Structure 1
Amino acid sequence: MSMVEKSFPVSWDQFHRDARALAWRLASVQPEGWRAIVCITRGGLVPAAIISRELGIRLIETVCVASYHDYSEQGELQILKTIDEKLLTDEGRGILIVDDLTDTGKTAGVVRQMLPKAHFATVYAKPKGRPLVDTFITEVSQDTWIFFPWDLGLSFQAPIGKGTPG
């Protein structure tokens, strides 16, 4: 993370509210229900669990994509686990792809190629990845680093403004 990036810490409560809001939107997108969720690991695991509960979706599949990087730049993508062939029929129509965030859109692009007719949903979106997502809740600037609750511990936070008395 470079020095110019903004930080956006997300609490468990906030993430749960945002994921439920996403489920609410998705319920009206596909009123007849979704065939399955394809969750992009690891970030998509938590929102997929919440959405599956809210929408009564029992079939959850994972696609495992690794990006080897140093947290400042996304590197080469590698598919560690692909999607079950039964879900690849009809180009993914009726399938819901879930992730926590679309950042550069590289991972989203790889999964979109596998399921071009699926509906792609993320809780958060950045401008570069946003065109690949059909439904999301909150957009943040490209230079914002989202700290998810599973990545956080309790610690002191410096004031946002420089020179703000402590």
Structure 2
Amino acid sequence: MTDRLPHEKGFHVSWDQLHRDARALAWRLDGMGPEGEAGERGGGWRAVVAITRGGMAPAMIVARELDIRTVDTISVKSYDHQSQSAAKVLKSPDADMMRDGTGILVVDDLVDSGRTLELVRQLYPKAHFATVYAKPMGRDQVDTFVTEVSQDTWIFFPWDMGLQYVPPYRGTD
């Protein structure tokens, strides 16, 4: 048996599926935050921080579902196409808002090796880390996730894919 390339064991995620899974993430996070107004149901978040670029779509959906109006980003680069490298911060969120991370919900599309979340967790140790998808190697770095996939699965996100014509198996009509 030959080793598979990363794209050969693929999990293709459509926009519809991502939307459903990000809403499921929001449902899991509802009421888990430390904030809350007097007389209101507690568990609100001060802000959502998306890890760019993959976390932007899920963070937007989570922020909408949980009625969180303050949204910021942290840009961390840890991939060159399909090759992983050392994670480094390219852009940080507002420091006055972040403090130690208390009340902040950090959202990403996927935790793979966990290096990205490990770096962000060092910066904001009291933030809550949530991803839509999780792989076993990085699972310990995430507080809440929706779906676990095997470590050798490559997830094809909708922003990475394009639609194209596929001929039928039989005939040309």
Superposed displacement of residue 154, structure 1: 2.5
- Residue deviations 1:25-70 (CA, integer Å, cap 9, x gap): 1003224310001110000100011011100001111101112535
Counterpart AA for 2:25: L
1:8 to 11, 27, 45: 11
Normalising by structure 2, report the TM-score. 0.84
Give ranges in structure 1 of 5+ residues lacking alignment. Answer: 158-164
Give ranges in structure 2 of 5+ residues lacking alignment. Answer: 34-41
Counterpart AA for 2:102: R
Counterpart AA for 1:29: M
SS at match of 2:80: coil
- Aligned-residue Cα RMSD (Å) equals 2.0
Q: Aligned partners of 2:101 and 2:93: how far apart in 1?
A: 10
Identical-pair percentage? 59
1:65 to 72, 76, 80: 76
Q: Does the Cα contact within 8 Å between 1:4 and 1:143 map onto a contact in 2? A: no
Q: Does the Cα contact within 8 Å between 1:88 and 1:114 map onto a contact in 2? A: no
2:159 to 119, 137, 150: 150
Counterpart AA for 1:98: V
Q: Does the Cα contact within 8 Å between 1:18 and 1:137 map onto a contact in 2? A: yes
Counterpart AA for 2:158: P
1:140 to 129, 142, 149: 149
1:106 to 115, 123, 129: 115
Normalising by structure 1, report the TM-score. 0.87
Q: Give the aligned length.
A: 157
Aligned to 1:95: 104
Q: Does the Cα contact within 8 Å between 1:5 and 1:143 map onto a contact in 2? A: no
Shift of the 8–82 alpha-carbon distance from structure 1 to 2, 3 Å rule, reads same
Superposed displacement of residue 83, structure 1: 2.2
Q: Aligned partners of 1:156 and 1:10: how far apart in 2?
A: 18
SS at match of 1:129: helix
1:19 to 17, 22, 38: 22
Task: Detail structure 1 runs of 4+ shifted over 3 Å in the superposition.
Answer: none
Aligned to 1:128: 137
Q: Does the Cα contact within 8 Å between 2:98 and 2:104 map onto a contact in 1? A: no
Q: Does the Cα contact within 8 Å between 2:50 and 2:59 map onto a contact in 1? A: yes
The yes-or-no answer on 1:80 pairing with 2:83 is no
